Every structure is written in structure tokens, then in C-alpha cells.
Structure 1
Amino acid sequence: MGNGPLERNLHFEMKNQDLVKLPRYAKVEKRPIPHAPVASPYAGASVPKIVYVSSKTPFMSAVKRVQKLLRQAEKRATAGISLEDTQKTEKQKLAELAQAAETREEIFVKATGKAIEKALNVGKWFEEKEAEYKVRVTTGSVLVVDDVVEDEEKKDGEMRKQQRQEKADDAGKKDFANKRKREVAKVSEDEELPETRTRWIKKVEVAISFK
């Protein structure tokens, strides 16, 4: 898992317990992390606008997506305000602009694991333009599910190897201590492995808005 210079400045709560050790003939296949569908840029302010960043997401592509969402949010915020409205005083117009600024939408850049550093760099890109954008970062963790898959060929090989070792022990070629050690780690043909395994991974959320 990545641990870049920006990520090292953050604090993450460690939630993982010791994971169950799997035999050598089993492997873990990671499932895609589920997340809510990406909202339309034109959806109302009540719908969160999220940009999901993976380790393969091009950096500037993520930046441009955030910029597009920010422009649409700004249009929504000022849609009902007209500086040319002669029915309103300058004070009223300024008050409406101030209210729109206070309720500006945030665009959320979210990432987990190795993609965290990239999401933080997207936030840094906007933060460096201090006159325009406001950026805040929150950390957390998400529970993911992995599939446990048996390799039958490797399992058969492990069983044959184990049987050969037992025969060698019975013939006195190995001392008693080593035999007991192997018996503790012995894999039974009838042993049932869990179909899945859960773990916690780090996540980060970078909220970006106009000032």
C-alpha cells in the first residue's frame, strides 16, 4: 500500500486485526471496492458530486473533472442572481452573492490504498491556487471483502508432500520434535477454508470548493 510524502502527514486509525493465515495452496483474490454511482454534473446541490481516483487515473484528468463539477456548481449557486436586475438594490445583490458563497457546493475526491497519494496531490493542486479554492481533507477506513480461492493442484501437491514427510518420520529419519511441529501445522483434506476474508483499508476524502 502506498505511503507517499503527503499521506505520511495524515493520521489513520488502524482497525485490522491479525488475519487468518491461509495454507500455501490458497490465495486471496481482491474484489473491486463498491461505491455509489457517479452523479451527473447537472444534478442538484443536494446530490454529492464525487470523483473517484484509482492508481491508474491520469492526474490531470481528475483535476479537469473536479474543475467541471465546480463550474456547474457555481452556475447553480448563481442561477437566480442577476446583477442587471433593476428591481433590486446593490445591497440586495451583494447579499445574494454572499449567501451563494456561503452555500457553495464541495466536490469530493475519494481514494483508497495506493491511490491516496494521487487524491492528495489533486487537492494540493487546487490548494496552491489560494485565491480561488478551499480544500479540506478527512481520513477514514473502509471494510472490503476478498475471496479465498483454493488451487486444487497445489493442494494435492501439499498433501503428497505431507504424506512423504510422515512416512519419513515413521522410518525414523526425522526427530520427534520436528514431527510434532509438522503435525501442528498439518493440513487436513477435510479442512474447510473460509470463502471470503475481510480487511480494513485506508481511505481519504478531499473536499474542494470555491472560496
Structure 2
Amino acid sequence: MGKGPLEQKLQFEKKNQDLVKLPKYAKVEKRPIPHAPVASPYAGASVPKIVYVSSSTPFMSAVKRIQKLLLQAEKRATANINLEDTRKNEKQKLAELANISSKREEVFVKATGRAIEKALNVGKWFEEKETEYSVRVKTGSVIVVDDVVEDEEKKEQEEQKRQRQEGQQSNPPSSESKLAAKKRKRQAAAAVNPDAELPESRTRWVKMVEVAVSLK
């Protein structure tokens, strides 16, 4: 799956090195990416409010969750301000409101891999309402762990195939063309060492975006 138009505008640091080539009888099973527990909308300002977006997350569902978190943040921020307080003049009241605006809570929309474009589109939805919301985007990477699983039946078949190829190499047919011989040698050179012990897991980096949304 290629990059979407919004993702193409972003720059990501390339962190992955060449991964060890696995034999045909081994496959990679991806583990879910661990996330911090989702905070309650009513948690204090010191607790980060994060909305995780996957490729299957309904678009407007994510938008409404963000709006709910921002609404609760606004209620917390204005809870101690009483605009009807006659003991304060207009200048004092405006100063308190300005102080709130300078300390707006942000809601962080996070996504990796194929979900990046959806998170960016969510951010764009808020960005288009520029009189109400502020939006900023940060790119990064997260490390993930994949399990390496062997298929014993396929492993045995590959071993038998390897033994046949080794036999052909020691007794190549006289009619074999030079081109076919070169191709066979290239395949043998590129093959995974059958005696090497496979790792139980391996790590890799995946692209991540964080879209921060706040009220103005």
C-alpha cells in the first residue's frame, strides 16, 4: 500500500537496517504494538489525552472522541473562573482568559503504518476549522517486535530440496547450459544458511505520526 497524499508531504527518518533473510519455511507474526492505557476524559491536565487511530477506526468516531476530550479540558480550565465576579475588573477577567488560552490542553492523535493517512486526515478536518482549533504534526518511529515461527513440514521439504541441489552441484548434467549453471550458483549464494539458528523474534522500526489538536 502506497503513501497517501498527506503522508507524502512528511519526512521520516529511516531507521531500519537490512533485516536478516528468513528461509521459506519461516514466517513472521506481528505482535500488537503496546500502548499506554487510554486516559479518562475527566483525568487532570497532567495526564496526556491520547487517541489511537488504526486503519479500521471510523473517521467521525475519532473526531468526536477528540472533541469530547477537548470539551472536558475546556471545562477544567474554566472551572475556577467566574466572569460574573464583581470584585474583578474587565482587565483581570481578560487576563485570566488569556492565561487559559496560553495553556490549552492538547489531544494527541497517534497512528502507525497504514493508519498514518487516516490520522493526518483527522488532523486536516480540525485544521480546516482554523478559527476554533490549532493543529501541529510530529513524525517519529516506534520499535516493534515480530515473532519468527517455523513450519516444521516446510522445513523438512526445504532440507530435502537442498540435499538434491547439492547432489546436482557435485554431479552437474553435461547438457546444462552455462546460463542455467550461473543461475543455480546465484540461488545457492543467496540462500539462507540452513545450519544457522533462527531467532525467536526480531525487531524493526515503523513510522509514526502524532497530531496534536487543541482549542484556540
Q: Give the 5 Å matches for 1:78-93.
A: 78-93=78-93
In structure 2, the CA distance between the partners of 1:82 and 1:179, relative to structure 1 (3 Å rule), is: closer
List structure 1 segments (4+ residues) > 4 angstroms apart after TM superposition: 174-177
Asked if 2 retains the 8 angstrom alpha-carbon contact of 1:123 and 1:208, the reply is: yes
Instruction: Rate the CA distance shift 1:2–1:49 in 2: closer, same or farther, 3 A.
Output: farther
Kindly provide the CA deviation profile for residues 77-99 of structure 1, in whole angstroms up to 9, marking residues without a partner as x: 10000111122212111111111
TM-score (norm 2): 0.91
Matches within 5 A, 1:171-186: 171-173=171-173, 178=184, 182=188, 185=191
Give 5+ residue unaligned stretches, structure 1.
none
Shifted more, 9-18 versus 82-91: the winner is: 82-91
Q: Deviations over 1:130-166 (max 9, x none)?
A: 1100000000111111111111111011011122223
Is the contact between residue 2 and residue 113 of structure 1 (CA under 8 Å) also seen in structure 2? no
User: CA 1:56–1:172 in 2, change beyond 3 Å: closer, same or farther?
Assistant: same
Task: List per-residue Cα deviations over 1:39-70 (Å, max 9, x = no partner).
Answer: 11000001110000001100000000000000
Distance 1:9 1:184, change over 3 A: closer
Between the two proteins, the alignment pairs up a number of residues equal to 210
Q: Which residue of 2 aligns with 1:203?
A: 208
What's the Cα RMSD here?
A: 1.9
Question: How much does 1:179 deviate?
Answer: 6.0
TM-score normalised by length of structure 1:
0.93
Which residue is 1:61 aligned to? 61
Unpaired stretches in structure 2, ≥5 consecutive residues: none
Distance 1:183 1:5, change over 3 A: closer
Give yes or no for contact 2:22–2:192 (8 Å, CA) kept in 1.
no
Superposed displacement of residue 125, structure 1: 0.3
Q: Quick one: structure 1 residues 184 and 136, their matched pair in 2 at CA, closer, same or farther if it must change by over 3 Å?
A: closer
Code of the residue aligned with 1:209 in structure 2: it is S
Does the aligned pair in 2 maintain the 1:2–1:116 contact within 8 Å?
A: no
Q: Could you say what secondary structure the match of 2:120 adopts?
A: helix
Name whichever of 28-37 and 84-93 sits farther off.
Answer: 84-93
How far apart, in 2, do the equivalents of 1:58 and 1:39 lie? 20
Alpha-carbon distance between aligned partners in 2 of 1:107 and 1:164, rounded to the nearest angstrom: 60
Partner of 2:117: 117
The verdict on how the C-alpha distance between 1:47 and 1:169 changes in structure 2, with shifts beyond 3 A counting, is same
Q: Distance in 1 between matches of 2:187 and 2:215?
A: 64
What amino acid sits opposite 1:111 in the alignment?
Answer: A
State the AA in 1 paired with 2:53. Answer: V
Distance 1:59 1:180, change over 3 A: closer
Taking the aligned partners of 2:161 and 2:70, their CA distance within structure 1 comes to 62
| Higher mean C-alpha displacement, 168-177 vs 25-34 | 168-177
